[in-house]
Amino acid sequence: MTEIRDIEVVVLDVLGTLVDEPSGLRAAIGEAVPAADEAYLDQLLVLWQRHIEVEQGRIAQGLRSYEATEIIDRGAARLVADRAGLTDPVAIAHLATAAERLNPWDDAARGLERLARHFPVIGLSNAGNAALLRLNAHAGLRWHQALSSETVRAYKPAPEIYRLAINTAGCPPERVLMVAAHAWDLRGAQASGMRTAYVHRPVGDPPRDSDTFDLHCDGLEELATALIGR
């Protein structure tokens, strides 16, 4: 079996792994609905998140055609606006682009910088191409290439998106390391033959006892040390 030191390319999930998606969405909702208290903000955030999960699930099941996250996010913003009584079209349109203004985790920039000095680094995201471009500009993330689910018109954990990363890496899948804070994402990568590294985040999906990922790290700095050796 290929050792972890034989990794040639590092692929990183973006939403939740490199940027704090829930906090960013919650802040945007709070900006749009300033009168909302903490409990109500939590309810509106759950409404947004459930909409995204349901609609991406329907796409995966073939119940609706693929649409990029920008379109699904507009639906989420409308749902939140309707629930909160928000009618200002400018405020609703701004809210719909909240996923383009997510802040990075504290260790994301440093960890990516270290990794990018030793490996080709790919960002692999369910975010649409336009959203991913603007998110990168806002968060100041460094990667050598960013790949979106929009290219293959399928959302992770569909195998098509992992094959896209493997083909882009240009090396055998066992020499490509998928990094994510979501165990479900890593299971999808593992099924495509990629190596896997779980990075703990407060908002992630932790591994089950039955998961056998190659690395478990508390953050990107620890991951970089494990791969680089210093």
pLDDT at residue number 180: 98
Residues 59 and 151 in one domain: no
Q: What CATH number is associated with residue 168?
A: 3.40.50.1000
Distance CA 137, CA 130 (A): 11
| Residue-range definition of the domain harbouring residue 139 | 4-20+102-228
pLDDT at residue number 142: 86
Q: Which amino acid is at 183?
A: A
Residues 83 and 119 in one domain: no
Distance CA 90, CA 103 (A): 22
In DSSP notation, 37-106 reads -HHHHHHHHHHHHHHHHHHHHHHHTTSS----HHHHHHHHHHHHHHHHT---HHHHHHHHTGGGSPPBPT
Residues 79 and 120 in one domain: no
Residues 15 and 25 in one domain: no
pLDDT at residue number 38: 96
Residues 123 and 14 in one domain: yes
Helical (H) or strand (E) element with 148? strand 145-148
Examine the fold and report which residue of 100, 119, 138 is the final residue of a domain before the chain moves on.
Answer: 100
Residues 78 and 143 in one domain: no
Residues 220 and 109 in one domain: yes
Number of folded domains that form the chain: 2
Give the model's confidence band at 5: pLDDT under 50 very low, under 70 low, under 90 confident, else very high.
confident
Residues 130 and 93 in one domain: no
Residues 147 and 192 in one domain: yes
Q: At what angle do helices 69-84 and 89-96 cross, to 10 degrees?
A: 140
* Residue-wise pLDDT tens digits, 18-71: 999 999 999 999 999 999 999 999 999 999 999 999 999 999 999 999 999 999
pTM of the model: 0.94
